[in-house]
Structure 1
């Protein structure tokens, strides 16, 4: 089949790879001048299905409300009067119930572990090196943070996820440079979770995809899709062409493309931020990746650099990194690794990502025949991306996916 994949991020590129490996003729349409230039560029780099959980967690609304007006917060809310945001927030709060959380995390882990297995297969097969590190620590500053984590910990134990709840001393033995002056009630060690440079990995997979026949068309903005008998017409800013099937892997642009075709995805556009800087003192730097649970902020080691990523701002309309977000990133970095780098000289990044109220990815068909959609919820993007791509390839090919996709399709939103 002739298949068009819209989007050149980590999801789109790997979807194209799996489609080409299945024997299809594939073209990737990307509105930027290269792959991984939007949400896949400056993210945390986590591939962490054990850690992965939706933001809709029991107790989270109260926690975010208490942090909202502090100088350092994981949430910025500068556009408080947006009615669409509050409609989405009401739906999100409904997903914070314990039973809904258990369902959503289970679904997320199903696609996440499958995705991590695929990543390992590709890494070994192609001998990929993308500044990856193994193991992850989730840091709990207070007993209250530990208490909020109990539903997730119980679900990990129930599903046999490899993990260990450790005290501060053990956490410091895993990450020797961790500052002992910052209060630490405990940490969750996930030895099988990992992190890496998502943009570098995506560019490597682009080269591999090209070697098996995938064509990339950059600076190609898809404006509309149209059903033409058994084919799909793609209207671009510079012309039109048709394909047997289309895969929407365009991240934040997916809802608009699908909306024009009669479908609806209940996403909220959220701006995320990161700061990347060179390591000044290697003995004071992290060895792998960590998440500060109180601030929902991640610190990741990429070779001779360290990246601090976090803060969510719904409805942001600018690419700038606001001072409030910078304060939070600097605080988390200096609290845990104060001498690793000069965080005031960091390279700042902001990227828009889609967030779903239940925090679970979407993969499957759409109201348009032969149009498929893949959407990796922004908080756990790379964790699920390869699994989504492989499932999409199987569905386009008329094959039964390796995993059960019940609860992962667009149909769950009615």
Structure 2
């Protein structure tokens, strides 16, 4: 089949690879100039089936305090939580059970590709949840019960064991204990996406960067209307016939209507806008997530400045992950903020958490601040499978688990499109649950 994949984030790149591995002729359309340029650019880097499962079981309510100065949930000045949005912050244990097989399958698929393709990217193994108080220790009991029920390895640690595992932790910050999740991982999602782009190109995938899809026409031979939309400065410097990113060779500046055998939508929040004119209204919510990334100081006398792998502060729902010789601090969900405006309050929370646990570890003069969209349905589950429109498929709405789900969702979707049974149960993941 000739397949169009719309969106070159981690979901789109993995979908393109899996479809090409099945022998399909694949073209990826991406409005930016490279892969992983938006929501996949600088997120936390957690490949964490156990953590996402355990955290979901908490319902989040006990730990979310959006009106405090430092919190994992920020509201704009005028934004109130509607019942649907509040439910979305309280992802429950039943949906966590439904999602967990896909999370574990995705991690296994990524490991398989890492070994078979010899992919070398920044990564480390193991995740530690840090609990500041006895209250938090009690709050995570429900999550630990669910992990035991699902057979996911975990171990409860006291403060001394946490400090032995992560010697760089500040002894001055209250620490009641931690939860060690040995099978969870930390890695550089953007680096992985670029490696997967290279593997996809070897299989014949064509990437069309700076190309915006304006319309989809479903049918036995679905069509997409797309236009070459480079930044003005890029066009002025290189001209319309340049080789954009090594892939795109635009032939015209006019919109083009092109036919395919199938179209796969991997555009996160923009999925709703593409499908709304076709009568399909997806109940997607797009929030903003924040991260800061900074180089770690290198001192011979203090070899353990910063984290060795990945940690999560359970009180603030903020992760601190080692990415090569840098630390990435991620968390803080903003609801209702203007799309182009960074929240100082949000980044202040990230700086506070990093300073609490690793004071003086980062070179703040070189810090990178980032804000990216997270798109979800209220139940927290992805939209994966046939859209109900002829020839149009969905791989979107991954919420906080974009990279954790990417490889498994892409492989399962390719199986579905080929009419094969998937190796993982996808019940409840498709659009039929919204009807």
So what's the TM-score if we normalise by structure 2?
0.89
Please report the RMSD computed on the Cα atoms of aligned residues, expressed in angstroms: 1.8
Residue segments in structure 1 that go unaligned for 5+ positions in a row: none
Alignment of 1:85-234 (within 5 A): 86-92=82-88, 101-228=92-219, 230-234=220-224
**Counterpart of 2:304?**
283
Q: Is the 8 A contact 1:3 1:244 kept in 2?
A: yes
**Is 2:255 the counterpart of 1:257?**
no
CA shift at 1:88, angstroms? 2.7
Q: Is the 8 A contact 2:127 2:311 kept in 1?
A: yes
SS at match of 1:313: strand
CA distance in 1, matches of 2:403, 2:7: 14
CA distance in 2, matches of 1:59, 1:25: 43
CA shift at 1:264, angstroms? 3.0
- Partner of residue 339 from structure 2, selected from 287, 296, 318: 318
CA distance in 2, matches of 1:393, 1:315: 35
CA distance in 2, matches of 1:44, 1:301: 10
SS at match of 2:195: helix
**Counterpart of 1:375?**
396
CA shift at 1:163, angstroms? 0.8
CA distance in 2, matches of 1:376, 1:47: 17
CA distance in 2, matches of 1:221, 1:88: 31
CA shift at 1:413, angstroms? 1.8
**Counterpart of 2:40?**
40
CA shift at 1:195, angstroms? 1.0
**Counterpart of 2:368?**
347
CA shift at 1:121, angstroms? 0.5
CA shift at 1:92, angstroms? 2.9
CA distance in 2, matches of 1:202, 1:302: 15
Q: Is the 8 A contact 1:2 1:243 kept in 2?
A: yes
Q: What CA deviation, in whole Å up to 9, does each residue of 1:176-201 have, x standing for no partner? A: 11111111112110111101110000
CA distance in 2, matches of 1:258, 1:145: 42
CA distance in 1, matches of 2:341, 2:369: 9
**Counterpart of 1:72?**
70
Residue segments in structure 2 that go unaligned for 5+ positions in a row: 228-254
**Is 2:418 the counterpart of 1:397?**
yes
CA distance in 2, matches of 1:90, 1:320: 23
Number of residue pairs matched by the alignment:
404
Q: Is the 8 A contact 1:45 1:197 kept in 2?
A: yes
Computing the radius of gyration from Cα coordinates, the structure with the larger value is: 2
CA distance in 1, matches of 2:267, 2:54: 21
CA shift at 1:316, angstroms? 2.4
Q: Is the 8 A contact 1:5 1:12 kept in 2?
A: yes
Moved more, 371-380 or 19-28: 371-380
Q: What CA deviation, in whole Å up to 9, does each residue of 1:116-147 have, x standing for no partner? A: 00000011011112110110011111222222
Q: Is the 8 A contact 1:135 1:192 kept in 2?
A: yes
SS at match of 1:69: coil
CA distance in 2, matches of 1:311, 1:59: 16
Alignment of 1:45-60 (within 5 A): 45-53=45-53, 58=58, 60=60
